[in-house]
Structure 1
Amino acid sequence: MIVDRQGRRLRNLRVSLTSACNYACTYCVPDGKRLVAAQHELSAEALGRGVAYLIEAAGIERLRITGGEPLISPKLDALLEAVAPLGLQDISLTTNGQLLARKLPVLLAAGIRRINVSLDTLDATAFRAIARGGDLATVLAGIEQAAAAGLRIKINMVPLRGQNLDQVLPLLDYCLARGFELRFIELMRMGHLARDGKAFNQQFASLEQLLELIGQRHPFQQAEAPLDATALRYEIPGKGFFGVIANESVPFCRTCSRLRLSSTGWLHGCLSSSNRHQVGDLFDKPRHQALPALQRLLVQALADKQELAFSGGATVMKVIGG
């Protein structure tokens, strides 16, 4: 087990299956161009071996499959098949939901029981303006089918001043009515927003603003959450729960247990660090050769983590997953 001086270890692995995405969300890409698959992306087989090596080298317990948009990748089925027997405590997936109905049988067959769906508005016009792709009705239909099939669903919303703050309460009520937990994610200083402070400040909605909006309709109280949780969790008595990932307002760096693996084989220990570590070539080596080298790089990745607070990063979020 690798532990740093703050007692943090790497428990949660997020694997970006591909950097390609069928959306071009305003807070992710500045020019409206959809991201495509990167050159030299690892195969599903290599990613599967990588996950197995990281479980052994770092003590990874939970896996989340991300993108880009993982459901558009032809590697999805093979990766799910590779990681299913590895003994992880939990395997989940984050998606924008556009292909959810189509891929639902694959997810169920692989034993996926929990997904996060990114959804920033229930207004069709605003949806197109923010996502710059996709169709809201298709996403909502996919969510309903997934819920009916028994999947546990969380909805992720990025509140943006001037774009979708009027959707905070409608989305919350939508989730409460269906037993979904809504997660508000404060805008992050990532990619172009790390370089353009004016654009960030114009769009940023804080934890305080969100709680004030919610309090106008629902009384709530803070609820317990796991020590290494990224979200502050709140309960609306008798109705359900919601959370806020307040990376700006209430940083969670002190307890972060996340490690990210890009589709091209780079390890990222911290979203707020420009450091990254190439490990893809190790996944083609035998276990006895790969593990010692991998552990050395994991020590460096853990040391990349911020001690106090997220300070921004130039990496585009869609390249390494949420």
Structure 2
Amino acid sequence: MGELQDIYGRGFKTLRVSLLSTCNLGCIYCTMGSEDEIAYDHRPQTPAARFIELIAAVHAHTGLKTIRLTGGEPLLYRELEAVISGIKALGITDIRMTSNAFLLERSAEKLQQAGLRSVNVSLDAMDANTFFAMTRRKQLPRTLQGIEAAIDAGLEVKINSVIMRGKNHDEVLPLLEYAFEHKVPIRFLEVMSMGHLFGKAGQYLFTQQNMLDTIATRYSFTRLPRKPSATANYWQTAQGDVFGIIGNESAPFCQDCNRLRLDAEGNIYGCLSSNNPIALNGSESSGELNEKLQQAMHQKQSLHFVGSELSMMHIGG
């Protein structure tokens, strides 16, 4: 079992797996925001056995600690329970998922029973009209019901909220209040320069400091120590509630990133900023696999995320 490191001494123990490139929302930071422009992936879904084969090969070589399942929307993947139980059978127990929660109410309990430990739910507004403007979907209650079902099922839940200046920056406090009411951590994300927003995200940037200034109008808070390899900075309010901010632009966290990404075609990436997929077939020799993983490690940025034309629909957040 090897310890992969890049030239900055960073290793990896977390693999993010994009199960498919289809989503049932049309979030404007991921797609162009028009129903006609959403690129649905009509190719057959990659079998669960194939994902397990690739994950097993990487795990045997590196000793993975965490798997995060993403998409597109992973709840649209038909063999989701099989992938989760297969990963658990490999001895990896920290299995997480990122979802929009539209379909989570009906599946939260069985996914928890299969081995899912936690879910990060994308929620960008509490106002129904703003929710529609951000996602091109009107059914905000379905997302909220999914969050509450996940809590009831015993899953660890976090809320992820992408904040865009001029689009939903006035939702910071309502989102915070919802999270505090339900006793779940919330993380606000600066918009990323990805896909159709590559090179254009700056006009929508609502920075970490902008968010803190907004929250300070209602709450007193203190900063918490940053954990190694964490994407978010965290604060705790005087009442004991916790919130985080992922400031990929104004407060980058590349310096100790420990993640690699696997897409549904079996390509591995070292960073969202890279458009150079490295194909895995699952049958590489130890030396060949080590070389490919090392190539992915070298894709990592030295300090700052620079963005990519790669769609978030394809590789996940």
Find the counterpart in structure 1 of residue 299 from structure 2.
304
Please say if 1:42 is aligned against 2:46: yes
Matches within 5 A, 1:89-100: 89-100=93-104
Of all paired residues, the percent bearing the same amino acid is 39
Alpha-carbon separation, structure 1, partners of 2:216 and 2:132: 28
**CA offset digits 1:7-35 (Å, max 9, x no partner):** 20111110011111001110111152334
Find the counterpart in structure 1 of residue 220 from structure 2.
219
For normalisation by structure 2, the TM-score amounts to: 0.95
Contact 1:19 1:38 in 2 (8 A): no
Q: CA deviation at 1:41?
A: 4.9
Alpha-carbon separation, structure 2, partners of 1:291 and 1:125: 53
The one-letter code of the counterpart of 1:21 is C
Find the counterpart in structure 1 of residue 316 from structure 2.
321
Residues matched between the structures, number: 313
The one-letter code of the counterpart of 1:219 is S
Alpha-carbon separation, structure 1, partners of 2:276 and 2:213: 37
Contact 1:232 1:244 in 2 (8 A): yes
Cα RMSD between the aligned structures? 1.5
Alpha-carbon separation, structure 1, partners of 2:31 and 2:274: 19
Q: CA deviation at 1:237?
A: 2.7
Find the counterpart in structure 2 of residue 25 from structure 1.
27
Q: CA deviation at 1:37?
A: 2.7
Alpha-carbon separation, structure 2, partners of 1:222 and 1:38: 45
Question: For 2:170, what is the secondary structure of its paired residue?
Answer: helix
Question: For 2:106, what is the secondary structure of its paired residue?
Answer: helix
Structure with more of its chain in helix, by fraction: 1
Report which stretch shifted further, 47-56 or 29-38.
Answer: 29-38
Contact 1:42 1:265 in 2 (8 A): no
Find the counterpart in structure 2 of residue 128 from structure 1.
132
Alpha-carbon separation, structure 2, partners of 1:99 and 1:264: 24
Alpha-carbon separation, structure 2, partners of 1:307 and 1:138: 40
Q: CA deviation at 1:5?
A: 2.6
Alpha-carbon separation, structure 2, partners of 1:290 and 1:156: 39
Find the counterpart in structure 2 of residue 207 from structure 1.
208
Q: CA deviation at 1:202?
A: 2.3
For normalisation by structure 1, the TM-score amounts to: 0.93
Contact 2:85 2:114 in 1 (8 A): yes
Find the counterpart in structure 1 of residue 68 from structure 2.
64
**CA offset digits 1:240-265 (Å, max 9, x no partner):** 11111111001111101110000111
Find the counterpart in structure 2 of residue 193 from structure 1.
197
Instruction: Name stretches of at least 5 consecutive residues in structure 1 with no aligned partner.
Output: none
**CA offset digits 1:250-287 (Å, max 9, x no partner):** 111110111000011111101112222011xx22x3xx
Contact 1:14 1:63 in 2 (8 A): yes
Runs of 4+ residues over 4 Å off in structure 1: none
Alpha-carbon separation, structure 1, partners of 2:309 and 2:61: 28
Find the counterpart in structure 2 of residue 10 from structure 1.
12
The one-letter code of the counterpart of 1:318 is M
Report which stretch shifted further, 34-43 or 233-242.
Answer: 34-43
Q: CA deviation at 1:38?
A: 5.9
Report which stretch shifted further, 203-212 or 72-81.
Answer: 72-81
The one-letter code of the counterpart of 1:92 is R
Q: CA deviation at 1:291?
A: 3.4
